[in-house]
Amino acid sequence: MRKIIIASHHNFANGLKDTVEYIFPNQTEIITIAAYTTNEPVQSAVAGALSSLSSEDEAIVFTDLLGGSVNQEFVKYIAKDNVHIITGMNLPVVLGVLMGLTESKIDPDFLRATVSDAKEQLVYVNDYFSQQTLDEDDE
């Protein structure tokens, strides 16, 4: 079994899940953790999300901030080779991972490549279009 977990401070995780399911419906169950929106401690929410994970299972965890408390709580589980954590989550990385999943065990190189591809989507659009205009003028 594979668990997909989207975890963030406040409601970012819920909004991202909603958008992912709109674009990529009925593909997989996504668990969200919207930390600090209830009285449940982050530690309990993370432990609960990972509690049923056996050694044959895998978890792909997306978090919002590298240095944030949500990510740091998941980092405690990183010694398990079946827990994969990607932080700085955005829509391109979540969609890229979900669309590339197969029945096989997750290949960390696939995750690395997907993260790299998602980084390419982080663009200061003003400069991007300025460069496009310059390139067209050069031709």
pLDDT of res. 87: 98
pLDDT of the residue at 27: 83
Output the six-digit token pair for 103.
């029945």
pLDDT tens, position by position, 46-83 = 999 999 999 999 999 999 999 999 999 999 999 999 99
Residue 134 in 3-state DSSP?
Answer: helix
For residue 131, pLDDT beyond 90: no
Enter the pTM of the model: 0.91
Helix, strand or coil, per DSSP, at residue 17 = helix
CA distance readout (Å), 78 to 15, 64, 65, 92, 123: 26, 16, 16, 23, 30
CA–CA–CA angle 24, 6, 82 (5° rounding): 100
What's the chain's average pLDDT? Answer: 94
Q: What percent of the chain has pLDDT over 90?
A: 88
pLDDT score at 83: 97
Residue 26: pLDDT band (50, 70, 90) is confident
